[in-house]
Amino acid sequence: MRLFVCKTTELLEGAQKAVRIGRQSVLVINYQGQFYALRNLCTHDSYALEGGKLENGKITCEAHGATFNLETGAATMPAVKAVRLYKTVLEGDDLYVEEL
């Protein structure tokens, strides 16, 4: 399933936008000019990742401080399970997200 997110010019550097793919909330992020998409849910305690701090290629869960790598989904304690990633697709200046 592919979902139109927005025009790339609408998601500025450091911005985050939550969208729904089916029943899942997916967080789309512009980090250092690259677009990433991951499930908008911390694997430690089911807390939304939206609004978390972006630093060193990771997003930090505001609830307990677990971090998730934007490229791999890898987690740090207290989370032990990686977060699910989604594919971002650019067509011109249109940004799409699709399941891997």
How confident is the model over 35-94, as pLDDT tens digits?
Answer: 999 999 999 989 999 999 999 999 999 999 999 999 999 999 999 999 999 999 999 999
Joined tokens for residue 18: 């939550």
Cα→Cα distances 49→19, 65, 92, Å: 13, 10, 28
Q: Which CATH number belongs to the domain containing residue 86 in this structure?
A: 2.102.10.10
What domain range is 62 assigned to?
2-99
Q: How many domains does the chain divide into?
A: 1
Among 32, 35, 13, CA closest to 96 = 35
User: What's the pTM value of the predicted model, to 2 decimals?
Assistant: 0.95
Say which residue the tokens 């512009």 belong to.
30
Cα→Cα distances 11→20, 43, 76, 82, 87, Å: 16, 25, 27, 25, 16
